[in-house]
Amino acid sequence: MSKLVECFNGTVQTYGVPRLTTELNELEEHVNHKRVARLKRENDIYPKQYKGFVITTDSSHGKPVAENLLNRNFTVDKPNQIWVSDITYSVPGIRHLHG
């Protein structure tokens, strides 16, 4: 039990049963995932859940916004009358970022 608590606290209290079982087995404390689950449940040990992403959009800024020239009218008579675009930011090391 003390190895379980030590291992759990050493992982910033984010590991669930599968990762704790793997960690304990690597520390030569051979346990089954069912035992780890039971011990966690009996001792009220639950991992902390963090937000998956940080909201970075600020819609209440005072900066000018681009004018809506199309007014949602996307029908055209011939090609190259209307062009639209979008910007996607790609930062190395960050999984998903869109602006």
Give pLDDT, residue 79: 92
Predicted model pTM: 0.48
Furthest-apart CA atoms within the chain: distance in Å: 74
pLDDT tens figures, 46-72: 888 777 777 788 888 888 888 888 888
Domain parsing of the chain, residue ranges: 2-42
Average pLDDT over residues 32-56: 85
Residues whose CB is less than 8 angstroms from the CB of residue 25 and which lie 6 or more positions away in sequence, other chains included = 31
Cα–Cα dist 70/83, whole Å: 10
Class of residue 21 by CB neighbours under 10 A (exposed 0-12, middle 13-18, buried 19+): buried
